[in-house]
Amino acid sequence: MSEKHRIIAPPPPVQGSNGDDGWNNDFPDSDIKKHNVARFAIMLLIFSEMMIFAGLISAYLILKFNNTTNWPSAGQPRYPQEATLINTIILLLSGVLMFLFRRSLNRNLQFSKLSGLLIACCVLGIVFLVLQGQEWLKLISYGLTITSSVYGSIFYSIIGFHAIHVLIAVVWLIWASRLVIASKFSGHLINLDICGIFWYFVVLLWPLLYGVIYF
């Protein structure tokens, strides 16, 4: 957005208007306001994403309930509970790093330290994806594919959908850490912030999926 469009000056005080909770619309470009609007929007988006996952999880529960006697489906391997525990810890750890990053961002610590935290967070995200991929390859070699049974279909769909979210978030994080390394983030605080919120969503969703799906 170019400077040319930031044109509105504060209006004169208005007489006689009642106390209100409405925004003063003549500061559409003030940073604080933009920040709040962006946060509001990402929260809305996350909420509707959560409803998609709610739909998937209830589909999982219903299918499991319908097939209680045949779960996992005959001849199919169990979901890898132990291996995924390591993965869960890795992802949660990256969430902790994100927390530390955001805290130091607020305290305005040195850039070098900041970029280290963010890069570590990215790396853990990538490790999560790689380990997940390995697990999938192993499962496929044991005969659990997306078409082999209900058990496989729902597993790959839900976990895969989450993995897509992790992938998007990781790409976003890489882009963000590039900014931080170049120390350019002052103009992109909003983006860094909502990227972090999205990462929280992806990380915090995982233990729920792990608990519900794998056990």
Partner 1 sequence: MEHTIDEHGSHGGFVSRYVFSQDHKVIGLQYLITGLIMALLGGIIAVIFRSQLAWPNREVLSPEAYNSFVTMHGTLMVFWVAMPVLIGGFGNFCIPLMIGARDMAFPTLNMLSYWTFFLSSIVILVSFFVPGGAVSAGWTAYAPLSVDARFTGVNWGMSLWLVALILEFASMLMGGVNYITTIFNLRAKGLTLMRLPMLVWMEMIAAVLFMFSVGPLIAGGGLALLDKSIGTHFFRVTAEGQGDPVLWQHLFWFFGHPEVYVVLIPGLGIIAEVITACGRKALHGYKAIVYSTIAAGVLSFVVWAHHMFVAGLNPLLAVGFSITTILISIPFFILSVAFGLTLWGGSIRITSSFLFALGGYLIFIIGGVTGLFLGAQTADIYLHDTYFVVAHFHYTFFSSIIMGTIAGIYHWFPKMFGRKMNETLGKVHAVGTFIFYNLFAFPLFFLGLAGHPRRYSSALEYDFLAKYQWIHHLATGAAIILVALQIIFIYNFFKSMFTGEKAEKNPWRATTLEWLAESPPVHGNWGNASPVVENGPYEYSVEGDSDDFRPQGKLIPTHVKH
Determine which residue in the list 83, 129, 153, 193 makes contact with partner 1, applying CB under 8 A.
153
Binding of residue 31 to partner 1 (CB under 8 A): no
* Per-residue x/- track, 185-214, partner 1 (CB under 8 A): -----x------------------------
Burial of 59 (0-12, 13-18, 19+ CB in 10 A): middle
- Angle, in degrees to the nearest 10, between helices 150-181 and 111-141: 160
Nearer to partner 1, 122 or 176 (CB): 176
* Per-residue x/- track, 5-24, partner 1 (CB under 8 A): x-xxx-xx-x-xxx-xxxxx
Map the footprint of partner 1 across residues 120-149, applying CB under 8 A.
146-149
Nearer to partner 1, 80 or 152 (CB): 152
125 Cβ neighbours under 8 A, 6+ residues apart: 91, 94, 166, 169, 170, 173, 199
**Contact stretch for partner 1 (CB under 8 A) within 60-68, 122-130, 136-144, 200-208:** 60-68
Nearer to partner 1, 32 or 186 (CB): 32
What tokens appear for 186 in the block? Answer: 């002052």
Going by the DSSP 8-state scheme, the letter that residue 9 receives in this structure is: P
| Measured CA distances, 157 to 21, 128, 182, 193 (Å) | 43, 17, 38, 29
Rounded Cα gap, residues 174 and 185, in angstroms? 13
Query: For residue 6, how many C-alpha atoms fall within 13 Å in the half-sphere facing its CB?
Result: 8
Residue 71: CB minimum distance to partner 1, A? 10
Burial of 120 (0-12, 13-18, 19+ CB in 10 A): middle
Nearer to partner 1, 62 or 85 (CB): 62
Map the footprint of partner 1 across residues 61-80, applying CB under 8 A.
62-63, 66-67, 70, 73
Closest C-alpha among 160, 138, 159, 156 to residue 148: 156
AA letter at 193: D
Residue 53: CB minimum distance to partner 1, A? 7
Q: Where does this chain bind partner 1 (CB under 8 A)?
A: 1, 5, 7-9, 11-12, 14, 16-18, 20-26, 28-29, 33-34, 36-38, 40-41, 44-45, 47-56, 58-59, 62-63, 66-67, 70, 73, 146-151, 153-154, 157, 161, 190
